[in-house]
Structure 1
Amino acid sequence: MSLLASVPTGGRGAHARMAFAVPAAAVVLLVAAAAGCSSSTAPDGTAAAPVPSPTVAAVPATVLPVVGNPTNLTVQPAVGAGQGLPPTKLVVKDLVTGTGTPATSSATVTVNYVGVLWNTGKTFDASWTGGQPATFPLDQVIPGFAQGIAGSVSDAVAGMRVGGRREIVIPPALGYGPQGGQGSIKADDTIVFVVDLLDVTAAATGTAPTGATPTSTAAANG
């Protein structure tokens, strides 16, 4: 396709014109070039103000709660609040790595623990308050507590061994979900436990202590 243009010629008088073809692609290039030549000055000749780039809000980094007294298993640890967005998967951090008997999902464990809310660091339960450890069959506790101790293949979490202390961050899906838990645990709260593993019995025996937070409501009522 071409467009026709004309220019004056020397023949047949001063007003004679000659037609010739101009490729359409050339016209397109000329128009595009003209459109791209934007002026950096205002109509009055002054420099135009730069157009600011849109601001992108920074996503808060996830920082696990700080644990005071992290390695002394004879002292109750002090657990703070988490920072940023809480994790959506099970997260663990070994504060002391145990060397004793490993925990399994079918075992009964004896533990000391402190439980706090991710958002505030408020303690909602602690075995230390009663002055003695708690014993739980792991099949009677919330999934995040059991997997945080015995391990979880899907979350690439290894199990604890006796003598260890571990920080366990439990998302609502592995905790108390939309119904919330007892006390100050509200709907869809992320909760944090610091657990000392004191003993492991190979088979699940007995029942979880009444009122202990990690107990699964369904298991306790089943």
Structure 2
Amino acid sequence: MSPAAAAGSAGRGRGRRAVVGGAIAVVLLGAAVAGCSAGSAPDGTAAAPVTTKAPVTEAPTVLPVVGNPTNLTVEPAVGAGAGLPPTALTVKDLVVGQGTQAGLDSTVTVNYIGTLWNTGEKFDASWDQSQPATFPLGQVIAGFAQGIGGSLKDGVEGMRVGGRRLIVIPPALGYGPQGGNGPIKVDDTIVFVVDLLNLEAAGAAGATASPDPAASS
């Protein structure tokens, strides 16, 4: 091979090596950039870790626990509710009565205890008077009347004589933004346990007493 040919061959070899070397440099540079974006800032310092907030879950609603739930001769003990209180009228029959069913126009004779959802504090009870209370349901707050006499909107049936019912009343059906007597504050959810002892037909005379949840209007 002539020196010129050899020189040309050598030049072509160097050209190929330069191209290959350039390709390797590009690959290495790309890897370096990728490594920088994945784990470090452009100046080479460690990138701040990415944090995600866990979703906030609200505690489930738990109705108050009732002590002495089925003995209608003993005042029940009512605990506090847990979690967010219900926003609709909510009832739970502790004893299902077998007698006449109450309606919103009934005059009823009941034993009852009223407490606060948040604390379980008692604010009123017929048990403290040593005798049941008798009153027309039309003269008490809406939630108390509907908890006893029934509410189609909330899917609540009227109580039957001989029954004991837990009734949870949201502020909209209770004392609302004005609050109530004693410890009942603005927009408090209130709880009653009611024993329906007797009832009279609509318009019958004989209403002798009204509990604390009487309507103020």
TM-score, length-normalised on structure 2?
Answer: 0.77
Distance 1:207 1:39 in 2: 81
Question: Quick check: 1:148 aligned with 2:159?
Answer: no
**One-letter amino acid of the structure 1 residue matched with residue 40 of structure 2:** A
Report what 2:59 is aligned to.
60
SS in 2 for 1:40: helix
Report what 2:127 is aligned to.
128
Q: Could you list the per-position Cα deviations for residues 160-196 of structure 1 after superposition, in whole angstroms to 9, with x for gaps in the alignment?
A: 1011100000011111111111111111111000000
Task: Give the superposition deviation at 1:213.
Answer: 0.8
Q: Could you list the per-position Cα deviations for residues 53-79 of structure 1 after superposition, in whole angstroms to 9, with x for gaps in the alignment?
A: 123222121111110000111110000
Question: Quick check: 1:201 aligned with 2:200?
Answer: yes
- Runs in 1 of length 4+ with deviation above 4 angstroms? 36-39, 43-50
Report what 1:189 is aligned to.
188
**One-letter amino acid of the structure 1 residue matched with residue 209 of structure 2:** P
SS in 2 for 1:149: helix
Task: Give the superposition deviation at 1:149.
Answer: 0.5
**One-letter amino acid of the structure 1 residue matched with residue 157 of structure 2:** A
Larger Rg: 2
Question: Quick check: 1:74 aligned with 2:73?
Answer: yes
Task: Give the superposition deviation at 1:209.
Answer: 2.2
Distance 2:63 2:96 in 1: 18
Task: Give the superposition deviation at 1:42.
Answer: 2.3
Where in structure 2 are the equivalents of 1:95-134 lying within 5 Å?
A: 95-134=94-133
Distance 1:114 1:40 in 2: 65
Q: Could you list the per-position Cα deviations for residues 42-101 of structure 1 after superposition, in whole angstroms to 9, with x for gaps in the alignment?
A: 259898665221232221211111100001111100001111111111000000111100
Report what 2:177 is aligned to.
178
Distance 2:171 2:81 in 1: 15
Report what 2:38 is aligned to.
40
Q: Say what the alpha-carbon RMSD is for the aligned residues.
A: 2.2
Distance 2:35 2:104 in 1: 70
- Residues 165 and 38 of structure 1: is their aligned pair in 2 closer, same or farther, counting only changes over 3 Å? farther
Q: Could you list the per-position Cα deviations for residues 116-153 of structure 1 after superposition, in whole angstroms to 9, with x for gaps in the alignment?
A: 01111000001011111000100001000010011100
SS in 2 for 1:93: strand
Distance 1:208 1:217 in 2: 18
SS in 1 for 2:135: strand
Say which structure is richer in helix. 2
Q: 1:137 touches 1:208 (CA, 8 Å); kept in 2? A: no
**Aligned positions, number:** 182
**One-letter amino acid of the structure 2 residue matched with residue 209 of structure 1:** A
Distance 2:196 2:35 in 1: 71
SS in 2 for 1:158: coil
**One-letter amino acid of the structure 2 residue matched with residue 147 of structure 1:** Q
Structure 2: runs of 5 or more not aligned: 1-33
- Residues 99 and 217 of structure 1: is their aligned pair in 2 closer, same or farther, counting only changes over 3 Å? same
Say which structure is richer in strand. 1
Structure 1: runs of 5 or more not aligned: 1-35
TM-score, length-normalised on structure 1?
Answer: 0.76
